[in-house]
Amino acid sequence: MSWQAASVIPVWLIALAGAIVIGVLSPRDEYFTWLGVVMASAVIATFAIQLATRRPEGFVVRAMASIGVSVVILAVASGAAVLFG
């Protein structure tokens, strides 16, 4: 795995794990509020990880991939919550 993928995949896992934990543990009326908290955590983790790599080349692409896929993961989780909740 290249260092670019290694700096993006942990954020995706944070979003996925957060969506699962919130789906299982949160009350239904607070579900979407907590998804916002997970998204904020993914954004903060993105910038922390990308700045920790100390490589400026491709920063925007890596940050966009981290945040973009996190948005998709949480959108799918929101859709599942609406359909099955």
Give the chain as a DSSP string: --HHHHTTHHHHHHHHHHHHHHHHHS-GGGHHHHHHHHHHHHHHHHHHHHHHHT--TTHHHHHHHHHHHHHHHHHHHHHHHHHH-
When pLDDT is cut at 50, 70 and 90, the band that residue 12 belongs to is very high
pTM, two decimals, is 0.90
Q: What is the CA radius of gyration of the chain?
A: 14
Q: Which domain holds residue 77?
A: 3-84
Q: Which contacts (CB < 8 Å, 24+ apart) does range 51-58 have?
A: 53/3, 53/7, 55/3, 58/4
When pLDDT is cut at 50, 70 and 90, the band that residue 1 belongs to is low
Q: How many domains does the chain have?
A: 1
**How do residues 35-62 score in pLDDT, each as one tens digit?**
999 999 999 999 999 999 998 999 999 9
